[in-house]
Amino acid sequence: MKKKIAANDVVRDEEWRQFDGRDAVYDPSLSTVALRRARQGIEEHRKGILHLRVLDRAGNPLRRHPVRVEQLTHQFLFGEQLWPLDAMYRDGEEETERARAWKRRFLEVFNAATNLCYWTERDRNDASKTEAFQGEARMENFARTVEWCHASGITAKGHPLFWSIDKGIPEWVKRYDLETRMKFAEVRVRNLVARFRGKVRLWDATNEALWEPAPKNLHRRNWPHLEDMEAIVDYIAPVLRWCREEDPEARFLINDYGTESEPSSPYPPSPADGSAVTAARQRERYLQLVHALGDAGQLPDAIGLQSHTGWVRDHAEQAAIYDIYAASGLPVHITEFWAHGSHLEKLGVPLPE
């Protein structure tokens, strides 16, 4: 865009549609347009009229009395995952000075937290595993982090309820036929959602379906496994139904990665047919999945974007991609954002000393 953008310019829709999320070159003029549009959106979507009545202790209106209004919090959820706190609980370090300092700092910065409830995770990862061994459900660590959130007045999110990936499904589950495996999954999902009803109001119901096989094809996993859409819906729709039957008031996301920007080296081609796997293609598939789940009567409550970018995008490009997802009519959550100064350097953005 060549025209000069003034501070108070209104960005028109036809101007914004020029930026469709394809150009990864840093361009300050496009960033200027994006920031203008963001400020415009604040006025349109995040501000409203509020009427306050100021009374004395007897309930009489106070006139011409000075009043100071200070915003202490906001509704925008800004959080971090609780892996370090979970580990401190498991290691008996929750009352150390390090743990107390960590918790104080967390509450100074964040108003939300992602609590980990993996069915299992690969052994080398120091993650809380809720049922790595058959018949030994271990929810106490997840419960402790949730209780800490609840006592601290911050929003607790649970992650993940069902993850169809080899390292996320316990080995003992894989010994059974598909119907039995899914029964075990149903018991797990229902138990977690029911036990923490009213305390965990936000869940990643499913995780990384765009890159992984459906449970019936787990034995044929060959990453990137671009599963047939019907097979994905066949297992995600029941998961969402189990969740909602146990807690109709909570919100349940589908969560995925690799849809916002291309990696520094190309993704491997699809082993199924040798076709190229790109972020743009995965965006298309993600929206197809949302529509297919809606047709099945189990529309998710929001779309989760992990943002495992390894690459920070130009403002205009990033916002344009979010708009692509917003066209689905669902809220968009940034769920696992990774960023580093080196990502900005790759875009040619000058960094301070």
Of 216, 211, 204, 113, residue with least CA distance to 162: 204
Instruction: For the chain, give the secondary structure using H, E and C.
Output: CCCCCCCCCCCCHHHHCCCCCCCCCCCHHHHHHHHHHHHHHHHHHCCCCCCCCCECCCCCECCCCCCCCCCCCCCCCCEEECHHHHHHHHCCCCCCHHHHHHHHHHHHHCCEEEEECECCCCCCCCCCECCCCCCCCCCHHHHHHHHHHHHHCCEEEEECCEECCHHHCCCCHHHCCHHHHHHHHHHHHHHHHHHCCCCEEEEEEEECCCCCCCHHHHHHCCCCCCCCHHHHHHHHHHHHHHHHHHCCCCEEEEEECCCCCCCCCCCCCCCCCCCCCCHHHHHHHHHHHHHHHHHCCCCCCEEEECCCCCCCCCHHHHHHHHHHHHCCCCCEEECCCCCCHHHHHHCCCCCCC
| Burial grade of 310 (CB within 10 A; 0-12, 13-18, 19 or more) | middle
190, pLDDT greater than 60: yes
pLDDT value of residue 2: 34
Give percent above pLDDT 90 in the chain.
65
4, pLDDT greater than 50: no
pLDDT value of residue 325: 94
Mean pLDDT computed over 210-231: 96
Question: How far apart are the C-alpha atoms of 159 and 9, rounded to whole Å?
Answer: 41
Residues in the chain: 353
| Average pLDDT of the residues of the chain | 87
Per residue in 247-297, pLDDT tens? 999 999 999 999 987 877 889 999 999 999 999 999 999 999 999 999 999
- In DSSP terms, 162 is beta-bridged to 206
Structural tokens at position 220: 């044929």
Mean pLDDT computed over 205-227: 96
Per residue in 123-151, pLDDT tens? 767 778 899 999 999 999 999 999 999 99
pLDDT value of residue 310: 53
241, pLDDT greater than 60: yes
240, pLDDT greater than 50: yes
Per residue in 47-71, pLDDT tens? 888 888 999 999 999 988 898 988 8
pLDDT value of residue 282: 96
pLDDT value of residue 340: 73
11, pLDDT greater than 70: no
| Burial grade of 62 (CB within 10 A; 0-12, 13-18, 19 or more) | exposed
Q: Specify the pTM.
A: 0.84
Least confident of 22-26, 107-111, 124-128, 329-333: 22-26
Question: How far apart are the C-alpha atoms of 110 and 179, rounded to whole Å?
Answer: 41
Question: How far apart are the C-alpha atoms of 187 and 131, rounded to whole Å?
Answer: 12
Least confident of 225-234, 314-323, 337-346: 337-346
6, pLDDT greater than 50: no
pLDDT value of residue 313: 66
- In DSSP terms, 116 is beta-bridged to 159
User: Cα 201 to chain center, whole Å?
Assistant: 14
Question: How far apart are the C-alpha atoms of 179 and 159, rounded to whole Å?
Answer: 24
Per residue in 69-127, pLDDT tens? 888 778 889 999 999 999 999 999 989 999 999 999 999 999 999 999 999 987 767 77
Residue 201 to residues 82, 150, 195, Cα–Cα distance (Å): 16, 11, 12
- In DSSP terms, 333 is beta-bridged to 304
Mean pLDDT computed over 42-50: 85
Phi, psi of 171 (to 5 degrees): -60, -35
